[in-house]
Amino acid sequence: MVNSPKRLKIWLAGMLLAVPALAQQPAATTSRPELALIVERMQQAQAAAWPIVSYEVVREYRLFGEKSPAPTSDVVAEVDYLPPDSKSFVIQKRVGSSRGEDVVRRILQHESQMSTRGRSWSAAAIDAHNYSFSYMGETTLNGNPCYLLGLEPRHKEPELIRGRVWVDQQSYLVRHIEGQMAKNPSWWVKRVDVKLDFADVGGAWLQTNMEAVADVRFLGNQTLKAQTVDARVGDMVAQKNTPGTRRANRRAARRGVPATVLVPLPRRD
């Protein structure tokens, strides 16, 4: 029998859902549009919102075993993005089992590889190519009015989710996604439930929280939680990188992008 750490790495390595970071693009509306118009504006917001400045986020990853109230591993990682399509990471700290660090490294390596595909990569985009949508009504998420849409994947891929998406009524950007992975990453995994949160972080639309619960054969439920606990956006990030990157960020700043934003984020337990 394959040992349990190896099985756990298999499902977690394919778990990351590559929804790109987005720059905020507000678009007001005065009346409730039809489903087709909501989807069209959501796609336009995603296409127009690819980040144009560097950012650095610090994430905390916590891994929980079956019926375990305390994490078996706690890992802190720094992720750096350089426009247009470069992403790297550094593991800052690990407490507990080394399994957690191995899992996080695999996830961030996958995220970095996907980032190199830039705008042209659409396998995980929330659009009509990847999904059939259904209108489920209007709701409020953390005080923000949203359209609630059902998601039905058109392709059986692990990057896609069968579930629901919360679309901001003002910006048409995605605030929350939850459901099941359309395709499990391996035979060892019977089901993966995921939740993803997005918000404005210093002018960039970033993933701020993630939770994935996998039903793993012979192990039961295994849970991975990730939270962005700190972020920096703008020239300060670029200063520790190449001169060419700094020039690119100065040009972005001249176009009206804030030069530097430091954003401490509240902890979510």
Give the pLDDT confidence of 122-139 residue by residue, as tens digits.
Answer: 667 899 999 999 999 999
pTM of the model: 0.76
Distance CA 238, CA 14 (A): 30
pLDDT digits (tens, 9 = 90+) for 15-43: 444 444 444 444 444 456 799 999 999 99
Stronger pLDDT, 156 or 236, i.e. the higher one: 156
Which residue range(s) make up the domain with 100? 4-122+184-264
CB 192 within 8 A of CB 185: yes
pLDDT band, residue 235 (cuts 50/70/90): low
Alpha carbon 215 to chain centroid distance?
Answer: 21
- pLDDT of 268 reads 53
Stronger pLDDT, 51 or 63, i.e. the higher one: 63
Cα three-residue angle 99-86-58, rounded to 5 degrees: 50
Query: Is 150 a member of any domain?
Result: no
Query: Is 91 a member of any domain?
Result: yes
CB 236 within 8 A of CB 260: yes
- pLDDT of 184 reads 79
Query: Is 165 a member of any domain?
Result: no
Q: Taking the alpha carbons of 213, 214, 218, 219 in that order, is the dihedral positive or negative? A: negative
Stronger pLDDT, 217 or 164, i.e. the higher one: 164
Mean pLDDT of 200-217: 87
pLDDT digits (tens, 9 = 90+) for 72-108: 999 999 999 988 788 899 999 999 999 889 889 988 9
Q: What percent of the chain has pLDDT over 70?
A: 71
Q: Nearest to residue 182, comparing CAs of 6, 15, 20? A: 15
Helix H or strand E segment including 39: helix 35-48
- pLDDT of 258 reads 39
Query: Is 144 a member of any domain?
Result: no
Q: H helices of 82-149, where? A: 98-115
CB 174 within 8 A of CB 184: no
pLDDT surpasses 80 at 243? no
pLDDT band, residue 249 (cuts 50/70/90): very low
- pLDDT of 216 reads 81
Alpha carbon 231 to chain centroid distance?
Answer: 14
Distance CA 185, CA 97 (A): 23
Q: Which residues pair with 151 in a beta bridge?
A: 133, 163
Phi and psi at residue 241, in whole multiples of 5°? -120, -155
- pLDDT of 135 reads 96
- pLDDT of 223 reads 94
- Quick one: DSSP state of residue 20? P
Helix H or strand E segment including 27: none
Query: Is 149 a member of any domain?
Result: no
Q: Nearest to residue 172, comparing CAs of 5, 75, 44? A: 44
Q: H helices of 116-242, where? A: 235-238
Look over the chain and give the mean of its residue pLDDT values, rounded to a whole number. 78
Distance CA 196, CA 148 (A): 15
Domain tally, the chain:
1
- pLDDT of 24 reads 43
Query: Is 16 a member of any domain?
Result: yes
- pLDDT of 31 reads 56
- pLDDT of 234 reads 78
Q: Which residue has the tokens 């009509």?
A: 128
Distance CA 228, CA 206 (A): 9
Stronger pLDDT, 3 or 83, i.e. the higher one: 83
pLDDT digits (tens, 9 = 90+) for 140-176: 999 999 999 999 999 898 889 999 999 999 999 999 9
Query: Is 14 a member of any domain?
Result: yes
